[in-house]
A and B are shown apart, each in its own frame.
Chain A
């Protein structure tokens, strides 16, 4: 089964390369989600509670980023940032693009969740004498997070999908590693199927998690 020349043999030979590619894919996605969420929370809060100048600026940012394909963001950040004197590796430049992309998704998601809360919630909280920070922490945020959670988990799938784009700017993530192995072994179908299976399993797990979260956070009716 493991003789030279068989698929299993080639997979065994390139196991470390594949694992490394998988590691880079997971690392990119994780970092993009974590950093993107931190930035995205600010984006969402400004969109809802900001003064009009900052709200307008952030709205422009969100609309601009969401109107541009992620692929263009990745390429632009790769070529642009070095040009204006910020020396970044391909990994960092690609990650920057994904963080920006993720922040707009998280921001819009949070804005939607916050704005969908009935006004009565804020009014009732004011009526019992809570200050705005208290209203936000004890009344609005818990409800908004409950609503935003499933979509937030789905953003993770988007990030795993977008991480493949970094293969074009020579970051050795799973897709690029697969391409390299295929160039060596000529086992096109086999290795692409393997990569596809791995991507599918990651995203399927995330999708299941999102579904489970949706069930758990749903308000009992």
Chain B
């Protein structure tokens, strides 16, 4: 075979890989945060009594759940500037990932909303809260606590989707891995280290979120 493992080249650029991992995490955090807002609004729209709101929300979910994320990214990257919207690569990526993730989060929140006992809302109204106050102080907190496990899963899959940002040259982990690979030809080492970094990051995130989940869970 004649291939000798030599991690030197990868270690030399390890700080680049780490910075890429950090950027990927940052992108995922911003996107899930934005996606949660979109998801909340769309989930309430889906349970709204106005038919047109339900229509719009379910159209949004159906369309974005069924499009390949790479396609949406490429679309946004090439089409937005044509329409006169000049935004940077990173902003474009965050925008697309939030909208894509938002479609999945809508389903999560919609399920959580349906699972809430009606009594919660009625009790809120009964003690004199307005419809809005009931939503903000009662429904949403309970809903988010119930939806937390699904939210955590979505966060991890969004984090993995940040690797797609490499396709539009956002300097995250996959981008640097490709760069190191092309520059040094240490193929096995580069991809082994890069994927182990992803695996480790996913594992740590999952462990951390499970810890939060236990803290947040509604005691029974």
B192 → A minimal CB distance (Å): 8
* Inter-subunit contact A71/B164 (CB<8 Å): yes
- Asked if B71 contacts A64 (CB within 8 A), the reply is no
A133 to chain B, nearest CB (A): 35
Q: With a CB–CB cut-off of 8 A, which chain A residues contact B78?
A: 182, 188, 192
- The answer to the question of B194 belonging to the interface, with a C-beta cut-off of 8 Å to chain A, is yes
List of A residues within 8 angstroms of B194 by Cβ: 72, 76
Q: State whether the Cβ of A56 lies closer than 8 Å to any Cβ in chain B.
A: no
Interface size class of A (residues with CB under 8 A): 35 or more
User: Counting CB contacts under 8 A, is A84 at the interface?
Assistant: yes
| A71 neighbours in B (Cβ, 8 Å) | 70, 163-164, 166-167, 174
Query: Is B67 part of the contact surface with A, judged by Cβ < 8 Å?
Result: yes
| Option from B67, B83, B185 in Cβ contact (under 8 Å) with A199 | B67
Q: List residues 47-88 of chain A with CB under 8 A from any CB of chain B.
A: 63-64, 67-73, 75-76, 79-80, 83-85
Q: Does B181 reach chain A (CB closer than 8 Å)?
A: yes
A69-B191 contact given A164-B68, A188-B78, A196-B71, CB 8 Å threshold: no
- B114 to chain A minimum Cβ distance, whole angstroms, is 17
Is A179's beta carbon under 8 Å from chain B? Answer: yes
B70 touches A164 (CB 8 A): yes
Interface size class for chain B?
Answer: 35 or more
A159: shortest Cβ distance to chain B, in Å? 10
CB of A69 within 8 A of CB of B161, answer yes
Chain A residues whose CB sits within 8 angstroms of the CB of B52 once the complex forms: none
0/1 string, B38-64, CB within 8 A of A gives 1: 000000000000000000000000110
Q: Which of A5-13, A31-39, A140-148, A200-208 contacts B (4 or more CB under 8 A)?
A: A200-208
**Stretch in contact with the other chain, from B132-140, B144-152, B195-203, B207-215:** B195-203
Q: A167-B70, A203-B66 are in contact. Are A68 and B199 (CB under 8 A)?
A: yes
A127 at the interface (CB under 8 A from B): no
A63, B191: Cβ atoms closer than 8 Å: no
Q: A161-B69, A175-B70 are in contact. Are A79 and B163 (CB under 8 A)?
A: no
Distance between A218 CB and nearest chain B CB, rounded to angstroms: 17
Instruction: Judge whether B66 and A79 touch: CB under 8 Å.
Output: no
Asked if A189 is an interface residue, CB under 8 A from chain B, the answer is yes
Max chain A CB contacts within 10 Å: which of B71, B82, B160, B162? Answer: B71
Q: In the complex, are the beta carbons of B163 and A189 less than 8 A apart?
A: no
Q: Does B188 contact A (CB under 8 A)?
A: yes
Contact with B along A161-185 (1 / 0, CB 8 A): 1111101100000010001001000
Check B7 for interface membership: any CB of A closer than 8 A: no
Min CB distance A77 to B, Å, is: 9
Q: What per-residue 1/0 map shows which CB atoms of B181-195 lie under 8 Å from chain A?
A: 100010110010011
User: Can you list 18 A-B pairs with a CB-CB distance of less than 8 A?
Assistant: A64-B195, A67-B199, A67-B202, A67-B203, A69-B164, A71-B174, A75-B191, A76-B195, A80-B188, A80-B191, A83-B188, A161-B69, A168-B167, A175-B74, A189-B82, A192-B78, A196-B71, A204-B62
- 10 A-B pairs closest in CB distance: A67-B199, A203-B66, A69-B163, A76-B191, A161-B68, A69-B160, A164-B68, A83-B187, A68-B195, A164-B70
- Which residues of chain A have a CB within 8 Å of any CB of chain B? 63-64, 67-73, 75-76, 79-80, 83-85, 157, 160-165, 167-168, 175, 179, 182, 188-189, 192, 195-196, 199-200, 203-204, 207
